[in-house]
Amino acid sequence: MHISFAQEKTVSGVVTDQNGLPLPGTTVLVKGTTSGTSTDFDGNYSIKANKGATLVFSFVGYTTKEAKVGTSSTINMTLEEDAAALEEVVVTALGIRREARSIGYAVSTVKSEDLNEVRETNVLNALQGKASGLLITNQSGNVGGSTRILIRGNSSLSGTVQPLFVVDGVPISNANTATGSRITGGFDFGNRAQDINPDDIDTVTILKGASAAALYGSRASGGVIVITTKRGKKGSKASVSFNSNFRFDTPLILPDFQNEFASGDEGVYDFNETPNEQVTSGWGPSLSSLQGQTYENFNGQQKQFFAVPKNVENFYNTGALSINSLTISGAGENGSDYRLSVAYTDQTGLVPNSGLNRTNIGFNGGREFSDKLKSRVNFNYIRTNLNGTARVGANDPNVLTSIVNLLPRTTDFNDFKPWIDNQGNQLNAPGGQQNNPFWVAFENAPEVTVQRFFGNLAMEYSPTKDLNILGRAGYDTSVDKRFTQNSIGTIGRLNGTFTDDWIDRRELTLDLIATYDKDVTTDFNITTRAGMQWNERVFERLGNNALDLTVPELFAPGNADVNNVFKDINKRRIFGVFGDITFNYKNWLILNATGRNDFSSTLPAANNSFFYPSVSLSWVFSDALNLKSDIFSFGKLRGSWANVGGDTNAYLLDFNFNPDTEFFGQFGTGGTFPFNGQLAFNSNGFITNPNLRPSNQENYEVGIELGFFNSRLNINATYYSNLTEDDIVFVPTPQTSGFASFLTNVGGVSNKGFEIDLNATILRTEDFRWEVVANFSKNETIVEDLSGLPGEALNLETEFNGIAVRAVEGKPFQLFGTRFARATDADGNEIEDQILVDENGLRQIGQPGELGTIQPDFTMGLSTTFRYKGFSLSTTFDWRQGGKLFSNTVGSLRTSGLAAETAVDRDNLFVDPNTFVDNGDGTYSPNTTPIQSTQLYWGQFANASIAEGNVFDATFIKWRELSLTYTFPSKSLEKTPVKALQLGIQGRNLAIFNSSVPHIDPEASIGGAGSQLDGIERGSVPSPRSIGMNITVNF
């Protein structure tokens, strides 16, 4: 007894998490005794223990650790988050938190540290490759451009199937409003999800199926992205965190040009042509044959014939991105918590004179007034300035049209500067038919300013321990001011134009939810909810398209001969009532049923009320059958069924007239109204339908979740089936009707597939940890029914030269366009591998037809992390297999003779392989007529000729992210005010593998959020490859 007492000593230290932040309230016990204590606000503890005793450190949501008492009186401890514990609670519909084991449908959760491993300005991009069921597409490398997201494929013919975004229980806008046509040269100014500060996000939960999203109503037919923001930790003192991120951007992939031939036609360069008459395509003589000769370039200088291999590469800037954020958070002893964040983003783009800066201010605070009453307020203010965004689409004045497709290989971009001559006129590009790219970038730069506020106020009252009443109001408002211009002298807009565009969006959501949670017996619990939701969305747009300016650089209505003022007001409301009941038996058998009825202002009064139910079941058989062991730790079977409805946009039920306005088209300006003081009005262009019905979507899914080796290996597999019927779409009408389309219910689209999520801790020791996270998704979308439509097909989007995205009954969504002519069998069916040529050996143009599906065969993401002491190495790969892509850029490069492949065998004759000649008697013979590559590319792959020649397999594997960080030990910072310090280097979009698409990123497209134009690319800005560094300091 005396010896034990003599060895007793006081041990003290600090308990922190893996980021170096203190963990107040951590339990510290002397193992095998009842002696224990807890850490204070700063994570400090002090306890008496004998030498040789073992201290046990435990905290909810973290792995428990032990340490033996030795000669030192100080033991500091770092606890790591317990993945299994963190997954126990999931944020579901309406912000309801439920235990993961009780959920009967598939959800995926991405945590803050995984989102911000490599910083992104758009949170959607940070989700790529990190969750199953997601198809996320960057439209291009444009600064501030939009990102499209689909959950379990495209389930609608209308193209509006985007997920609902919810922040802290309240819906917010992810609108993407284009200016002009994305096909012929409009602007994509981004989707508004990019306004969210990634540093403020705690978790992102993806609700995939209809059962998961049913309580959100008709707006959630495309799934839900539920974002939960960070708050101050209760029981903690004020802390300050600063994060700084900086990176450089360069083009990930640029076209592979030929550098062997000069400009010209049929192997000839015409020295008698003036610079403005020069042929710019690369079908001239070889550069080697022109050595010693000179030509007059477009600014009157004499130049020798030398290739400039990096002329396009030298046009682009090295982009830069810096993100700096400051956070103050903490909690009071009266049950309050707070978190205030400020972030500033500054980005310069790859295209000269393009850039973005954004300021984010966010606050999240809560207060417990008593055991019965508490409140929470959350608000965010965002101001975004966007400048110089390049046009999308392939027509000039898209800056990319001239630099990629129509510049001789002898052109030096330094010759384009300055882009204005002594008289103030544009210094044109070679040939005189294209704009100087620097003129477009600097003189025609658009300017956009967006100010946005969104937030919510919630009050909770619990009159009894079983009853809780939640009232919540959420508001989201934004003002989007846009200015686009074409200065006087712009080719295609010689007289100058400008557009002022003001867009105002407002959304108000009110929730009232009552929850009754009762333990009927020790084994049986019933939780019921009843509530109502009122949502109003208002869209207002006011602008002016000004034509034919008089004074250069004066962009005012009084300086324009024609001003076309346009205005649009759109208001819609949805009122919903809902109920939810959950039966829980011993926490291993959970049955949940929901029902919601919506009343929509956008549907006819006779059909504006629609009810949709859901039911789900979860059976944790590992608990029910007592199957747990050292090998098998968890097993759950689940299943769900749901039926949901959907409405349409506002003001589609009544016939109306709108003022005739001029939007800039492909070949310049057209309208001249008002004419002699007279206004012109157009109808809405479609036939209305007083019998419109809600669309209907039926969904079921089954799944299994398994855990092994104390949850070090976890597998989650799901099979789902979804059928959308009575979709609300515009269908074409005969020209004799006087209208372009008819709004009606039509069709059926099915989505079936399966998903697998896997996470594993491969190796774990005291100092080393190797983790792997993988996901696999396969979705098959089939157009089931287009009864009544001509040919049982419907063009969803049509590109300039006839390529279209088409719905064809019995097939997935297809690319549709002109094909090569093919031999046919005895039944008249085309033989795919037998292309027909004419008497000259050139491929023949066939009839328009299907060119392949735009949907991938499967997608897969793989992330792995290695941790050794303070070091962490993480990387993510994103694999998309299959699908088709039409590239206008590739077609233009080949047609103009600038692509590298057009130089191969240019002077040699060859026989086009796999081609045949029609003998005229139903038989076919192999082609033996030789041709030149000039004939092949100019005659066959020209933009307006055969679309099939520019369709490619869109498969790719992208190295999405790489991050190496070092977290300094807490002990090394003890004598400083710094509580935690982390340094890192980062990379994003580092490489692309296994791509069959030449010259461009196969992920590019001209569609934005809400567009059907996936699978079509025209003049896209290269995707950026990013490399940078990051520092995080906590005080």
**CA atoms of 490 and 439, how far apart (whole Å):** 8
- pLDDT, tens only, 944-961: 568 888 999 999 999 999
3-state secondary structure of 901: helix
Return the closest-CA partner of residue 578 out of 298, 213, 964: 213
What is the DSSP code string of 478-508?
A: EEEEEEEEE-TTBTTBTT-EEEEEEEEEEEE
Cα-based angle 468, 473, 475 (whole degrees, multiple of 5): 155
Tokens 């959630």 appear where? Answer: 220
Looking at residue 252, what DSSP letter applies? S
427's enclosing H/E stretch is none
Neighbouring residues of 754: CB distance < 8 A, sequence distance ≥ 6: 717, 718, 719, 720, 777, 778
| The pLDDT of residue 4 | 44
Please, is 118 exposed, middle or buried when counting C-beta atoms within 10 Å of its C-beta (0-12, 13-18, 19+)? buried
| The pLDDT of residue 669 | 45
Return the closest-CA partner of residue 989 out of 979, 975, 1003: 1003
Q: Are 382 and 345 in contact (CB under 8 A)?
A: no
Q: Are 578 and 596 in contact (CB under 8 A)?
A: yes
User: Which sign does the torsion angle of CA 431, 429, 555, 567 carry?
Assistant: positive
How many residues in total does the chain contain? 1035
User: Which sign does the torsion angle of CA 971, 974, 976, 982 carry?
Assistant: positive
Give per-residue burial for 931-953: e unless 16+ CB within 10 Å, then b.
bbbbbbbbbbbbbebbbbbbbbb
Long-range contacts formed by 676-680: CB under 8 A, 24+ apart: none
Amino acid identity of residue 259, one-letter, is N
Mapping DSSP onto H, E and C, the string for 94-147 reads HHCEEEHHHCCCCEEEEEHHHHCCCCCCCHHHHCCCCCCCEEEEECCCCCCCCE
Amino acid identity of residue 1004, one-letter, is A
**CA atoms of 546 and 559, how far apart (whole Å):** 9
List, in sequence order, every residue forming a beta bridge with 154; answer none if it has no partner: none
| The pLDDT of residue 424 | 83
Distance from chain centroid for Cα 957 = 17
Looking at residue 10, what DSSP letter applies? E
| Below-50 pLDDT ranges, the chain | 1-6, 85-86, 663-670, 943
| The pLDDT of residue 12 | 92
Looking at residue 263, what DSSP letter applies? S
Return the closest-CA partner of residue 338 out of 239, 405, 205, 260: 239
Domain boundaries, the chain: 2-81, 123-230+238-251+320-397+444-675+683-813+854-883+957-1034
Tokens 């910083």 appear where? Answer: 119
| The pLDDT of residue 86 | 47
Angstrom distances, CA of residue 152 to CA of 289, 398, 853, 907, 1006: 57, 34, 16, 50, 21
List, in sequence order, every residue forming a beta bridge with 906; answer none if it has no partner: none
Angle, to 10 degrees, between the axis of helix 888-895 and the axis of helix 933-940? 140
Please, is 99 exposed, middle or buried when counting C-beta atoms within 10 Å of its C-beta (0-12, 13-18, 19+)? middle
State the CB neighbour count (10 A cutoff) for residue 172.
27
| The pLDDT of residue 342 | 98
Judge if 2-81 and 123-230+238-251+320-397+444-675+683-813+854-883+957-1034 fold alike in CATH terms. no
Q: Tokens at residue 30, please?
A: 């002397």
| The pLDDT of residue 1010 | 52
- pLDDT, tens only, 52-102: 899 999 887 788 889 999 888 899 999 887 655 445 677 777 778 888 888
Return the closest-CA partner of residue 312 out of 903, 1027, 1019, 1026: 1019
Please, is 928 exposed, middle or buried when counting C-beta atoms within 10 Å of its C-beta (0-12, 13-18, 19+)? exposed
- CATH class as words, domain 2-81: mainly beta
Mapping DSSP onto H, E and C, the string for 1007-1034 reads CCCCCCCCCEECCCCCCEEEEEEEEEEE
Long-range contacts formed by 546-554: CB under 8 A, 24+ apart: 546/497, 546/498, 546/499, 546/500, 547/495, 547/497, 547/662, 547/669, 548/495, 548/496, 548/497, 548/669, 549/488, 549/495, 549/496, 549/497, 549/498, 552/424, 552/487, 552/488, 552/489, 552/496, 553/487
As its CATH architecture, domain 123-230+238-251+320-397+444-675+683-813+854-883+957-1034 has Beta Barrel (2.40)
3-state secondary structure of 643: strand
How far apart are the two ends of the chain, measured CA to CA in Å?
Answer: 45
**CA atoms of 504 and 480, how far apart (whole Å):** 6
Q: Are 771 and 762 in contact (CB under 8 A)?
A: yes
Sheet holding 54-58, edge to edge: 36-38, 27-30, 54-58, 65-68
